[in-house]
Amino acid sequence: MRCNITQDGEAVEIHVQDAGDRAPQVLASLQECQEGRCSCPTDQYNRLASIEVGGCDGELTVHLTPHRGEHLDPDALRACMDYTLESASDNQS
C-alpha cells in the first residue's frame, strides 16, 4: 500500500493506493477513528473536527478537517497512517 498526504489550507487529504485485499481492514481501522476509538500513536485525533472516508477499487480517500484554530501535522499524520496500514496488514485474514 502507498499513502500520499496533501494539505489544502488547514484540511488534509490522504490517498491510500493499492490497498487491494486489505481495503476492508483499513476501512475498519479508519472507522474506529471516526467513532472516537482512535489508537494512533499521536495527538492528531484530538485536533480533528471531522474525518470523512471514501473510496473504491482498492483506493481510499480520507479527508481530515481540524477544529478551528488547530493545525494538522503531516509528519504526525504519516505516522498515524503507517500505524493504521500496519495494523490492517496484521489483521488481514
Domains of the chain, by residue range, sit at 2-90
**CATH top-level class of 2-90:** alpha beta
More confident residue, 76 or 39: 76
Cell of 9: 489550507
> What are the tens digits of pLDDT across the range 58-76?
789 999 999 999 999 999 9
Q: Could you tell me if residue 87 is left (phi over 0), alpha (psi between -120 and 50 degrees) or otherwise beta? A: alpha
> What was the pLDDT predicted at 65?
96
pTM for the structure as a whole = 0.85
Taken in order 71, 46, 15, 17, is the CA torsion positive or negative?
A: positive
What mean pLDDT is reported for the chain?
87
